[in-house]
Each structure stands twice: as C-alpha cells, then as structure tokens.
Structure 1
C-alpha cells in the first residue's frame, strides 16, 4: 500500500483507465482530470476522484489547484485520431506544457509524460498532415519538459497501442528501439512502476512488448 496521490490528465483515456485500476489496486489515490462531465461516473467506478477541467482553456492557476498535495502527475491526454491538426497542438503540446507549468506552481516534482514512437525523429515527407502535426506536437512537448529544472520528469514513448490483455513482459530502453506494439494495460503498469522509480527521472524511454517483466524492466532503468 503506497497511498500516493497521482493526478492523471486525460483521465478517461484508455491508458489512463488501466492506470487508475493499477493505482487503486495498490492503495494509491488516483485523480482523473477529465474534460467531459459525462465521464465522471466512468472514472469514479474505476476508483478515481474525478475533476472536470478543460486543459485547452484552463489557466495554470486552475490546474495547479487540482494538483494540491499530489505526489506525481501523469500526462495521458491526447486529441485522438479525430482531433484534427489544430488540436494536436492545443492538446498534445499545449496541454502538456500547461500541466507542467501547473506542476511547478504546485510544487509537484514527479511528472511522467506519455509520448509516442516517432517523437524527436524526422517525419517522412509523404506522411499525412495529421501525423506530422501529432509528431511535431509530441516532440515540442518533450522538448519543453526536458528544459525544466524543477521537475523530475520521465518521458515514455510506447509503440503501437493495442487492447490485448496485458502480458506483464516488455522491452523498456533508451532510444532507439525497433518498432513494435504494446498493450495499453502494460503501458499503464510501466507508468505505475516508473512513478515509484526516482532513477527514471530525466530519462526518455521507449516501450514495446518484450521478454522482461515490468518490474525488472523498470528496475534496470
């Protein structure tokens, strides 16, 4: 029983829902930041405390107030496949920057950012505009986080996400890593473990399914 307060931006997302269940099962208190009030019952049923806030329009002060007494913050928000080019920037980049600003203001040092394979790498000229915008936003969010001295940040770049049952076995390493897939449930397990791993601060990590248990993979970091 760890009894930590972990605030998750994008609290109704698929990875976040798995993470809420992992945190709750081990005795942590998960706070789900959600934009849609219709999602309150869903995240509550998973064990989270819901907080309705629109990260595209909220102020730093608004968000910092929600981080009061938090032990860690997880950025799991995203515009989604139907978000369009503009919202790739306002959610995948700007909302991450806002959350990091709020974490600094609230004095919450531990910050785990869910990024993506492809971030920080060149994008093919013939790639779709939405993919280009997505990678540009994720890369900019990473660069912003890396510039912050007050946060103990970890950037996690999972491979292709699936809804398969968790295997509990992953490959977790500094870039580069061959492309692969990973169940969202395993991503959540890795995030939960990273929160409790101070040695992971200041690292950018790639994640796919693999042969090493989550516990051993995170310990090796």
Structure 2
C-alpha cells in the first residue's frame, strides 16, 4: 500500500526528477505510475517492508530556522497519523525534533534528541527518562550541517542519516495521545535547522 504525505501532483514542466533515497530501495515504477509516466513533487511512503520511502522531486527547496538556546519552533502544518521529515541540523548537542498535541511546550508528547550522552534518544519531556537510546557518537557537528530523515507513523519512529537505513527504531507501547504538530527545539547552544522539501 502506498501512502502519501499529501496529495500527489504531477509536475507540468517535464523536468528530470531525482530520487533522493532515504535509506533503501527505490519504489518500483508500477507503484506510482498508473498510466502515463508523470513527475511527482511530493513525498511517497511505502508500507512494503522491502521498500523504504523515496522522495521524488524536480527541484528541492530548503526552509532554514535559526534557534537561540532553549527555543522551540513548530513551522509545519498539523498532520494526522504519519509524517516524514527530511532535515539537516548544525548543533553542538541536544538537537530535538519535538511532537506536540497543540504546537506548544505544554502539549509536548515526544522529544527525539540527537547528540545526548553520545547517542540518540527519545523521551516524553526534558526531565523525563529516556524511553529508548541508541549509541551514535559524533552524530552532530558544530561546524557543518548533518542531514537526516525521520518517519513517524502512529506511534512508531524511524530515524536515519541521509540516504542510509534507519539506525534508530522504536514503537511506543503505551501512547498517551496523538500528536498533531512537529517542530524543532534547541538546548543550551544556538542551532541551525533546515527542512528539505519539494518546491511549489
């Protein structure tokens, strides 16, 4: 089954689209071409375990966000059930992708933290215990942007480095609520984030 992050649209300009692989095999043509070939500018997510999501785009755009210490930003529209985020971050430590019920700190449900205690962890709040931890030394850089992808699907998380398979996977055994917003949060040093997406 193929799910779309939003409605698929075909590019009018017959440009040569690029497949940016997010850690797996390209989706077969038959999965998204019903009749004539078309150029897709949206994200495709495959539920086939043998296929990992692929981002087809004719042109990639970036939205950049500079966060001062202890700042949160929810720049994306509300989602339902699932999303995938293609992002880069430059940070000294504790770069967080946060999921919230209402786009505020009060509604915080999850923090996916990169660069904490030499690894990557997920927790419910800053003071909460780690729900899952994977050793990943050097995952962040203060000198350069590092690119990752994150997929959330009804309580299941998968995180990987750009064009690599997921190194972090976890499913919440007892979800407290359904998140509706996701964004970025910084810790005690400034951070620069970029979200990569198809141009419109």
Check whether TM > 0.5: no
Looking at secondary structure, tell me which structure has more strand per residue.
2
Of structures 1 and 2, the one with the larger relative CO (CA 8 A, separation 6+) is 2
TM-score, with length taken from structure 2: 0.32
Larger radius of gyration: 2
